[in-house]
Homo-oligomer: A and B are copies of this chain.
Amino acid sequence: MKIARYLPILDWGSRYNSTTLTNDGVAAIIVTIMLIPQSLAYAMLAGLPPEIGLYASILPLIAYAIFGTSRTLAVGPVAVVSLMTLTAASAIAPPGSADFIAAALVLALLSGLFLLLMGIFKLGFLANLLSHPVVSGFITASGIIIATSQLKSIFGIKASGAAMPELVSSIAATIGTTNIPTLIIGVSATAFLFWVRKGLKPLLMRIGLPARPAELIAKAGPIAAVAVSTIATIALGLEAKGVSVVGDIPQSLPPFSVPLIDLELWTTLAIPALLLSIIGFVESVSVGQTLAAKRRQRIDPDQELIGLGAANISAAFSGGYPVTGGFARSVVNFDAGAETPAAGAFTAIGIALAALFLTPLLASLPIATLAATIIVAVLSLVDLKTPLTIWRYSKADFAAMAATIGVTLLAGVEPGVIAGVGLSLALFLWRSSRPHAAIVGRVPESEHFRNVDRHKVFTDPRILTIRIDESLTYLNARWLEEFILEQVAEQKTVRHVILMCSAVNAIDASALESIEAINHRLDDGGISLHLSEVKGPVMDRLKRSHFLDQLSGKVYLSQNAAYSALIAIADNEDKADSPVDIWNARGLI
């Protein structure tokens, strides 16, 4: 049982048959065709030699097939994680250098270990810290940075930078050295890929193809761009005219690699690796959940952490770099009919064959073509509608999103994520520190109590009822003290305060301390504190403290009972002459 929990392959593997084999095989062929140019392109985006993209698409896919729970998630290099790898490893060494490649391996290992540990200790909830506006803003800003960074390869210039200000000024400074043949290839490849994306499917459908095959053929557009631009480069001798090409790629299976064990390097890369793994996890899980729900399947986020962790660790030991589940390719895998994670393993075999036999054909592939595939892919990540929707829905969420986009664009990916998470958390804590509460009164001729500001209700000047609409925690405990004492200070006639606890699901130790303080302070001023509608579990816990012994008033089952009883007591008090009579009226003697 225990082992099967960590090895989902035992579940689907036991029911594997020839039909699933056929379906998975077909899907694998289509994903392989899509993944070859993507792997090369994203490795280039990450500042790594192209073969590393292929290596990162072999063993990690097999590891995920064994440990992952999504039936259709396609794992491998993706754009945002590649950008994060570039940023983090650039802090160690210049892109492309041996130290840079070593840093990318360490990043894969560390993020794999983080994911694995989070999975084992069921810490997947940490990903909750990334709110939807933050993730959405981050992806949009990353998409803009990635697309801008690829302009250098489209123009054939040398520009660099991890955030927009550097990138733009660097492009502006070098635009004069544009290589015209490169620009022609880059622009036409980009235009072709945009057309493939938007226009090819309708065209294929017009000539009689059904929707799904038309869709899948359109996804093969990049491989066509690769083939045509490679042939053109060879035929026209464009390399001699200054067109940068991929160059020789070693013809081999992934090498066995051992990430450097270097404490200083690990310390430097720990935070980037953590951010990278959480961003990768959030993206991957949301793709996985969306696809699983379409077939009424479920994925297990904690086991997904283990699956992605295993994928990254295997990337670290097979010459790769950080990977995660990709959106576009997972959708293609799903649409192509993949039924089990075996499709991922078959894709790995396809990429391995490509690494062994196709690499010589890719030597003359222009880098501008790869840049075009990246630009077209990431511009679909740029989402300018969501900020508007969120602005209309919630200004606080918009603020978190705007901060993420702004800081990511101006300062880079890591500060961007940290700013977004920090601001979301600060806003959440701020909201939690001032919960909703209302002074309530009795709706005439009923037993219902409603907000005095919104309804015509009956209130007694001697009795103040405050309904708290949230659990009482240390974050709002001090607010509660201030709120109640302020209300009492404003209404000098009040002699009884009722806390209506119908919406209070928990009272933590700090809040209990505050309620005790409120009780004493009100008591010092001659005011009794009462509770009403306390929920069962909250009451059980209060009974374990001394609060109920010290409470100057009583706990009433219903607000109506409290109100009726206290009106009677107050009436008696009004007739009483001495404090003793008042205590008597309150049932304290």
Contacts and interface: CB of A to CB of B under 8 A. Distances in A.
Interface of A: 125, 127-133, 285, 289-290, 293-294, 296, 298, 301, 389-390, 392-394, 396-398, 424, 428-436, 454, 469-471, 473-479, 481-482, 485-486, 489, 503, 505-506, 508-510, 512-514, 517, 520-521, 524-525, 536, 541, 544-546
A393 B546 CA distance: 10
Contacts of A428: 473-475
Contacts of A435: 505
Given A128-B474, A131-B474, A428-B474, A393 B482 contact: no
Contact of A541 (B301, B393, B479, B505): B393
Count identical subunits in the complex.
Answer: 2
A485 B393 contact: no
A430 B506 CA distance: 14
A515 B512 CA distance: 34
Nearest to A475: B128
Contact of A125 (B129, B132, B433): B433
A131 B509 contact: yes
A466 B354 CA distance: 51
A520 B285 CA distance: 16
Given A125-B433, A301-B478, A434-B125, A524 B293 contact: yes
Contact of A485 (B298, B471, B513): B298
B521 A293 contact: yes
A437 to B, nearest CB: 10
Which 3 pairs show the lowest CB-CB distances between chains A and B?
A293-B521, A131-B474, A397-B509
**Of A127, A285, A513, most B-chain CB atoms within 10 Å:** A513
**Of A128, A290, A524, most B-chain CB atoms within 10 Å:** A128
A127 B524 contact: no
A263 to B, nearest CB: 21
A398 B512 CA distance: 14
Contact of A525 (B296, B389, B512): B296
A358 to B, nearest CB: 38
A398 B536 CA distance: 22
**Of A127, A130, A398, A510, most B-chain CB atoms within 10 Å:** A510
A491 to B, nearest CB: 12
Nearest to A394: B509
Nearest to A544: B392
B544 A393 contact: yes
B290 A389 contact: no
Contacts of A477: 128, 131-132
Contact of A132 (B127, B293, B513): B513
A16 to B, nearest CB: 22
Nearest to A488: B296
A128 B301 CA distance: 32
Given A298-B489, A301-B478, A485-B293, A390 B509 contact: yes
A510 B474 contact: no
B510 A397 contact: yes
Contact of A393 (B398, B512, B521): B512
A510 B133 contact: yes
10 contacts: A128-B474, A131-B477, A132-B477, A132-B513, A133-B509, A296-B489, A397-B508, A424-B474, A428-B475, A470-B471
B128 A482 contact: no
A396 B508 contact: yes
A477 B517 CA distance: 35
Contact of A510 (B132, B510, B524): B132
A277 B224 CA distance: 65
Contacts of A482: 301
A510 B131 contact: yes
A125 B489 contact: no
A133 B396 CA distance: 30
Contacts of A397: 508-510
Contacts of A489: 296, 298
Contacts of A475: 128-129, 428
A200 B389 CA distance: 71
A499 B353 CA distance: 51
A394 B541 contact: yes
B290 A436 contact: no
Contacts of A389: 545-546
Contacts of A131: 474, 477, 508-510
A479 B525 CA distance: 45
A503 B470 CA distance: 8
